[in-house]
């Protein structure tokens, strides 16, 4: 019985796996922590050269903080008038320099492991390899493919967001090869993320000599934080206090206290509800003052009609490879949230199966690589 994956690959699964692992090794063995701009630039330039070799038109996007993002456009298509297909990947990782020495790139019969391999260098390598596969086998995409590689996703996409949104506005679809959910499922929804810093301002005084002259900022902040669980909701909205700071010494009434607050929301309506509630907090002690600062924000990827329709198309393509593409949601954000918020159908979590994201045991499953490669090639060709 023929193997539909090998038929599309034009070679054995084993040979295709070795191609992917070779490219993946070259990505993983270059450490690219988000904070090291030069290391990220070096890998971005390598990917640009690889894409240019495959016939892409390269745009080097010089962004703030000396960061480099890469836009590669593949124009050899069947319908040059059709809106383009945007693929978004990032090469930065959360792992600090030196992690590779403790966690080297390794391949066993079941796993390939190394820092950043699951989130998301495997998805990046597979997408470039899929474009190479199409070119090698004379298969032509239906529409222009734009591959956007960024280098600051793990720290909020501060310098890349405007370029992501610019590339997405005229796109027909957006694909994001971030890590898959368990069982290889795609992500058809993601919660949005908002972070805040809530500061209570009080008044310092000597705790032993004249405490009545002080206004305890820590006490005020504590009162406010006990109210935050009320903002959690059955729709999946969560409000979490992750860090608190305050005070200067045990014998001083503290004049300042701060808390870092993480909010996850499934819809933009939920975001508005929580934001308004936080913005209208009133101090319990009228002599105290509250200050709220939003420090980060990423919209949700909502499971709307456009997302569902794109998912169903991808699932149909996956079925040609005898693969049942499941779906699900997650509380983590990605750059796909930005494109979905613009109303562009976005399908996320298309990376290979694996685990250990951001951890010492980060890995992908070797057996999933040739299937994902064939699936990527089919999507690039047919969507």
CATH number at residue 242: 3.30.70.360
> 310 by DSSP, 3-state: which?
helix
Distance CA 216, CA 251 (A): 12
From first to last of the 383 residues of the chain, give the pLDDT tens digit: 799 999 999 999 999 999 999 999 999 999 999 999 999 999 999 999 999 999 999 999 999 999 999 999 998 889 999 999 999 999 999 999 999 999 999 999 999 999 999 999 999 999 999 999 999 999 999 999 999 999 999 999 999 999 999 999 999 999 999 999 999 999 999 999 999 999 999 999 999 999 999 999 999 999 999 999 999 988 899 999 999 999 999 999 999 999 999 999 999 999 999 999 999 999 999 999 999 999 999 999 999 999 999 999 999 999 999 999 999 999 989 999 999 999 999 999 999 999 999 999 999 999 999 999 999 999 999 99
Domain membership of residue 357 as a residue range: 4-190+301-382
Q: What pLDDT is stored for residue 234 in this prediction?
A: 86
Same structural domain, 11 and 47:
yes
Q: What pLDDT is stored for residue 76 in this prediction?
A: 85
Distance CA 266, CA 331 (A): 8
Give the pair of three-digit tokens for residue 383: 């969507």
What is the DSSP pairing of strand 238-246 with strand 256-265? antiparallel
Same structural domain, 15 and 64:
yes
115's CB contacts (< 8 A; 6+ apart) are: 28, 31, 93, 95, 99, 100, 103, 362
Same structural domain, 326 and 354:
yes
DSSP character for 228? G
End position of a domain, from candidates 298, 330, 347: 298
Are 117 and 105 within 8 A, CB to CB?
yes
Same structural domain, 9 and 59:
yes
Q: What pLDDT is stored for residue 116 in this prediction?
A: 98
Distance CA 204, CA 217 (A): 9
> 379 by DSSP, 3-state: which?
helix
End position of a domain, from candidates 298, 328, 351: 298
Same structural domain, 254 and 285:
yes
Give the pair of three-digit tokens for residue 163: 């370029």
| Residue 322, phi-psi category: left (phi > 0), alpha (psi -120 to 50), beta (remainder) | left
- Residue 305 CA neighbour count, 13 Å, CB half: 0
Same structural domain, 237 and 293:
yes
Q: What is the CATH number of the domain that holds 306?
A: 3.40.630.10
Distance CA 134, CA 376 (A): 10
Same structural domain, 138 and 57:
yes
Q: How many domains is the chain built from?
A: 2
The whole-model pTM stands at: 0.93
Same structural domain, 229 and 185:
no
Same structural domain, 18 and 149:
yes
CA-derived radius of gyration, the chain: 24
Distance CA 136, CA 300 (A): 38
């Amino acid at each position: 019985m023929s193997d539909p994956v090998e038929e599309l690959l034009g070679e054995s699964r084993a040979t295709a796996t070795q191609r992917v692992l070779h490219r993946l090794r070259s990505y993983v063995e270059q450490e690219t922590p988000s904070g090291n701009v030069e290391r990220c630039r070096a890998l971005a330039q390598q990917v640009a050269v690889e894409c240019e070799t495959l016939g892409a038109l390269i745009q080097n996007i010089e962004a703030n903080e000396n960061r480099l993002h890469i836009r590669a456009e593949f124009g050899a298509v069947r319908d040059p008038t059709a809106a383009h297909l945007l693929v978004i990947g990032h090469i930065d990782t959360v792992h600090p320099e030196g992690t590779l020495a403790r966690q080297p790139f390794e391949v066993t019969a079941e796993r390939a492991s190394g820092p950043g391999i699951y989130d998301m260098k495997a998805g990046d390598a597979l997408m470039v390899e899929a474009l190479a596969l199409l070119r090698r086998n004379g298969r032509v995409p239906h529409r222009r493919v734009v591959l956007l590689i960024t280098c600051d996703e793990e720290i909020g996409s501060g310098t890349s967001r405007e370029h992501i949104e610019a590339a997405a506005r005229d796109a027909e679809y957006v694909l994001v090869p971030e890590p898959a959910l368990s069982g290889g499922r795609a992500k058809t929804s993601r919660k949005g993320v908002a972070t805040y810093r809530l500061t209570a301002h009080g008044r310092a005084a000597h705790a032993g000599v004249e405490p009545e002259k002080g206004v305890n900022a820590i006490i005020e902040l504590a009162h406010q934080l006990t109210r935050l669980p009320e903002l959690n909701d059955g729709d999946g909205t969560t409000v979490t206090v992750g860090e608190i700071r305050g005070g200067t010494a045990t014998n001083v009434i503290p004049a300042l206290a701060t808390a870092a607050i993480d909010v996850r929301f499934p819809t933009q309506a939920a975001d508005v509800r929580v934001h308004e509630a936080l913005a209208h907090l009133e101090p319990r002690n009228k002599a105290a003052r509250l200050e709220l600062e939003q420090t980060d924000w990423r919209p949700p990827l909502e499971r709307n009609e456009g997302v569902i329709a794109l998912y169903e198309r991808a699932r149909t393509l996956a079925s040609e490879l005898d693969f049942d593409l499941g779906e699900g949601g997650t509380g983590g954000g990605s750059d796909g949230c930005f494109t979905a918020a613009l109303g562009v159908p976005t399908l996320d979590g298309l990376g290979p199966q694996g685990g250990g994201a951001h951890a010492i045991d980060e890995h992908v499953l070797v057996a999933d690589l040739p299937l994902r490669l064939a699936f990527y090639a089919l999507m690039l060709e047919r969507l």
